[in-house]
Structure 1
Amino acid sequence: MASLRDVKNQINAVKKTKQITRAMNMVASAKLRGAQSKIERFRPYAEKFYEMLTELAAGTDPSIHPLLETREEVNTVGIVVATSERGLCGSFNTNLAQMARKLADNKIAEGKQVKMICVGKKGRDFFRKRGYDIMSDHTGAMNDFDFTLANQIGMEVIGAYLRGELDEVHMVFSEFVSMAKQVATSLPLLPLAGAAETAAETEAEQPGAGGMSEYIYEPSVEGLLAELLPRYVKVVIYRGLLDTSTSEHAARMAAMDNATKNCDEMVDTLTLQYNKARQAVITTELMDIVGGAEALKG
């Protein structure tokens, strides 16, 4: 049985740990408010951008831009994985890494080569330990980033795609749904083919739809697509990074809240153990005193 001093030291250690987890919970909560504000402001822009691009690409020939063309043979697949730089956020990074790993393994099973583009230290470390081909990594970037990071990754991905180094690109990120729910998501990034078909199907499914509206574009549709398609890739990447950052803070906040509650439970358990041990010591001392007094009487 542990001594009273050992139990007391354990109680003090757990109380200090509780102070740390509570402080980390407060820090995560403060960062979450800022990150959530960013993603809530950016989502309408990203959705409107997609809607406009879909209408613009509807009815156009995919061959007018290389980012719209689907290649007949896919040999190399790139996967952009967004994770956090630090841990202590529950199963957040594990869920993202496992989804990206499953996607990569499926592509490898089809006979394709997979190259990883890792954003965040946790994802980079996960795939490096398992021997995956890491095309590039952006560690230290998720702590504080802006659209410059999405522009850098977008230019890298688009350049590799146009040079033929990548035939297909996917992005794995965590979609922020609510404070209690963050969903690991896999999204096809390149090629951007199918926008026109998606728009046509959506229009046809609506009751009473009379077909797509016709617009006159100035400059030409080809000129607009040449400008907007690369920008759309960067917008999707930036939205994924914002979602992942917000989800990370929400996951860490929940994890630290659970850790704080576990500390309270451990303190209660150790306090009960301490009281029992103390009572046992007192009882033993009383028995010794009574035994000594009886011996003197005898």
Structure 2
Amino acid sequence: MAESLIEIKRKITSTKKTSQITSAMQMVSGSKLNKSEASSRNFQRYSEKVREIVTHLAATQLEYIEGDAEIDLFEDVDPDDYHSMLVSRPIKKTGYIVITADKGLAGGYNSSVIKQTLNMLAEDHDSDQEYVMMAIGSAGADFFKSRGMNMAYELRGLSDHPTFEEVRKIVKAAVQMYENEIFDELYVCYNHHINSLASQFRAEKMLPISDLDAGEVKDYELEYILEPSEEAILDKLLPQYAESLIYGAILDAKTAEHAARMTAMKSATDNAKNIIDDLTISYNRARQTAITQEITEIVGGAAALE
């Protein structure tokens, strides 16, 4: 019985140490989550302003495109009349950027993104030759590479609060591949942050740019003088806008990752406390049994001497 008490006490001590670690990780993830949410809000304000400018400059083209849902860059219109990032072209190959984490301990964060991405690929494509994969995060990169998927680019080791400079290469590479017609549309697959307890898988279409609405164009009292020209500005601005959309998705995914890790560590801490409570009850019962047995042995020994 003494060995049993020692073993139970050892388990209690070990579990307490584990709960201290998970509790500390929960607080760290909570701090990272707050900072990441603030970064996402600040970027959202920037994104909305850029969207407003792009929509205003591209209003004429958007009105023609939105007026004819069947518009085709190669048949219905002169390619010189519209920017290639605004008009859909025949889909021969699709590009996907899949955002996961570099580390675990985040509950079902990584597995959810990978599983739902695979389901989407199975539903939308008959062959792996119909799509190109790009991965942000070691979990997704390792998974897709181990299955021999067509990987065009991978990015690992992002910081907890990535700057645009960190993701510039993969973002610019994705836009460049679209412009070079390596693929004809681009989706970003990631977990969208809803709150600290919930996230939602999203597969957002980034290219061609389809989220602009000519109806949102604002009227200005002053007339803008554009230099060198509207077309030249759009040639620079539309790729930057597409890059900002992808970067915004990365920030959103990172926020969801911090929330998932905080929730997972809270759950682990709570489970550790429950285990400690159960072990403490077992320890007290074992100790009580040992004491009772000792008393019984003493009483029995005294009775034998009488």
TM-score w.r.t. the length of structure 2 is 0.84
Say whether 1:108 aligns with 2:125. yes
- Given candidates 278, 303, 306, the residue that maps to 1:269 is 278
The corresponding residue for 2:214 is 199
The corresponding residue for 1:55 is 56
Say whether 1:218 aligns with 2:230. no
Task: Give yes or no for contact 1:107–1:113 (8 Å, CA) kept in 2.
Answer: no
Task: Structure 1: state its 5+ residue gaps.
Answer: 204-211
Aligned with 2:47: secondary structure?
A: helix
Letter of the 1:176 partner, please give it: H
Q: Counterparts of 1:107 and 1:10 in 2: how far apart (Å)?
A: 50
The corresponding residue for 1:28 is 29
The corresponding residue for 1:206 is none
Task: Give yes or no for contact 1:176–1:243 (8 Å, CA) kept in 2.
Answer: yes
Structure 1 consecutive aligned stretches of length 4 or more whose deviation exceeds 4 Å: 212-217
Task: Give yes or no for contact 1:79–1:172 (8 Å, CA) kept in 2.
Answer: yes
The corresponding residue for 1:292 is 301
Quick check: 181-190 or 126-135, which moved more?
Answer: 126-135
Task: Give yes or no for contact 1:107–1:114 (8 Å, CA) kept in 2.
Answer: no
Task: Structure 2: state its 5+ residue gaps.
Answer: 66-78
Say whether 1:65 aligns with 2:83. yes
Letter of the 2:124 partner, please give it: K
The corresponding residue for 1:208 is none
Aligned with 2:125: secondary structure?
A: helix
Deviation at 1:139, TM superposition (A): 0.8
Task: Give yes or no for contact 2:99–2:250 (8 Å, CA) kept in 1.
Answer: yes
Q: Counterparts of 1:126 and 1:269 in 2: how far apart (Å)?
A: 38
The corresponding residue for 2:13 is 12
Deviation at 1:124, TM superposition (A): 1.3
Q: Counterparts of 1:221 and 1:193 in 2: how far apart (Å)?
A: 19
The corresponding residue for 2:72 is none
Task: Give yes or no for contact 2:93–2:131 (8 Å, CA) kept in 1.
Answer: yes
Q: Deviations over 1:33-81 (max 9, x none)?
A: 2222211111011122223323332331663322223112x22111111
The corresponding residue for 1:89 is 106
Task: Give yes or no for contact 2:188–2:203 (8 Å, CA) kept in 1.
Answer: yes
Letter of the 2:28 partner, please give it: V
Aligned with 1:3: secondary structure?
A: helix
State percent identity of aligned pairs: 33
Task: Give yes or no for contact 1:174–1:185 (8 Å, CA) kept in 2.
Answer: yes
- Given candidates 158, 172, 178, the residue that maps to 2:175 is 158
Task: Give yes or no for contact 1:77–1:112 (8 Å, CA) kept in 2.
Answer: no
Task: Give yes or no for contact 1:21–1:257 (8 Å, CA) kept in 2.
Answer: yes
Deviation at 1:29, TM superposition (A): 1.9
TM-score w.r.t. the length of structure 1 is 0.86
Q: Counterparts of 1:130 and 1:276 in 2: how far apart (Å)?
A: 52
Say how many residue pairs are matched. 285
Q: 1:185 to 1:268 in 2, by over 3 A?
A: same
Task: Give yes or no for contact 2:98–2:190 (8 Å, CA) kept in 1.
Answer: yes
Deviation at 1:185, TM superposition (A): 1.6
The corresponding residue for 2:287 is 278
Q: Deviations over 1:238-272 (max 9, x none)?
A: 11111111221122112211211111111100000
Aligned with 2:264: secondary structure?
A: helix
Tell me how large the CA RMSD over aligned residues is.
2.4
Deviation at 1:273, TM superposition (A): 0.6
Say whether 1:98 aligns with 2:99. no
Letter of the 2:87 partner, please give it: E
Aligned with 2:142: secondary structure?
A: helix
Q: Counterparts of 1:145 and 1:27 in 2: how far apart (Å)?
A: 17
The corresponding residue for 2:73 is none
Aligned with 1:109: secondary structure?
A: coil
The corresponding residue for 1:209 is none
The corresponding residue for 2:145 is 128
